[in-house]
Amino acid sequence: MNKTLKVLLASVVTVSASAAMASDNWVNNAGLNWKNGDGTLCWRDNNWTPATASPGCDGWLAPKAAAKKTGVTQSKITLQADTLYDFNKSDLKPEGKATLDKIAKDLSKIKLEVIIAVGNTDSVGTDAYNMALGQRRAQSVKTYLVSKGVDGSRIYTESKGKSNPVASNATAEGRAKNRRTDIEVVGTAKVK
């Protein structure tokens, strides 16, 4: 045989061997698994494991069906001053209670992980006073949600005081928008 033919045959044998070894089940030139006489068992090499078995052969580990994904549900709700708080107050107004009632009802649709209530104020007053007022506002939200059956251990409160305005404090309208509690609800969607 000439040199070119020997090289060609060697490369065909190498390619066939590497293809057969990729699955650790023996395959013929057509890529079909070699099986025993009744076709129930595939021939294996010494490196065979269930993880390297060919699809359709005995011992093959079929990929597991993907589990239903549960989507994380996260929503941020801002309860504005005009619906929640009067100037220098932390008492919930009827409009704010209605919003919290809807939140409490909607929580039945998710597996609740956490609610974060962050109280905010306008710029009138000292830093210390506004931090305390913001905390009272956040706490009023927590207290109300707990009264509606929400697990209090899942509700965290904090205050930003006047440090997190959403509007200018130069006008009465802007200050009113800054008297708010931001509520963030985090949970996992329930799969049916």
Where in the sequence is the domain holding 32, given as residue range(s)? Answer: 3-52
- Shared-domain flag, residues 47 and 101: no
The Cα 95–Cα 90 span in angstroms is 14
66 within domain boundaries: no
- Shared-domain flag, residues 85 and 174: yes
pLDDT tens track for 16-25: 444 444 566 6
Q: Which residue did the predictor score with more confidence, 111 or 79? A: 111
Task: Give the pLDDT mean for 100-128.
Answer: 90
Q: How many domains does the chain have?
A: 2
Which pLDDT does position 30 carry in this prediction?
Answer: 75
Task: Say yes or no to pLDDT of 81 above 60.
Answer: no
Which pLDDT does position 146 carry in this prediction?
Answer: 96
- Shared-domain flag, residues 26 and 92: no
Mean pLDDT of the chain: 77
Task: Say yes or no to pLDDT of 13 above 60.
Answer: no
- Shared-domain flag, residues 7 and 97: no
Confidence of residue 113 (pLDDT cuts 50, 70, 90): confident
Of the candidate ranges 37-41, 89-93, 107-111, 123-127, the one whose mean pLDDT is the lowest: 37-41
Task: Say yes or no to pLDDT of 154 above 80.
Answer: yes
- Shared-domain flag, residues 28 and 80: no
18 within domain boundaries: yes
- Shared-domain flag, residues 174 and 81: yes
36 within domain boundaries: yes
Q: What is the 3-state secondary structure (H, E, C) of the chain?
A: CCHHHHHHHHHHHHHHHHHHHHHCECECCCCCECECCCCCCECECCCCCHHHCCCCCCCCCCCCCCCCCCCEEEEEEEECHHHHCCCCCCCCCHHHHHHHHHHHHHHHHEEEEEEEEEEECCCCCCHHHHHHHHHHHHHHHHHHHHHCCCCHHHEEEEEEECCCCCCCCCCHHHHHHHCCEEEEEEEEECCC
173 within domain boundaries: yes
CATH code of the domain covering residue 99: 3.30.1330.60
58 within domain boundaries: no
- Shared-domain flag, residues 36 and 98: no
Which pLDDT does position 34 carry in this prediction?
Answer: 72
Task: Say yes or no to pLDDT of 128 above 90.
Answer: yes
Percent of the chain topping pLDDT 70: 67
- Shared-domain flag, residues 41 and 108: no
- Shared-domain flag, residues 110 and 155: yes
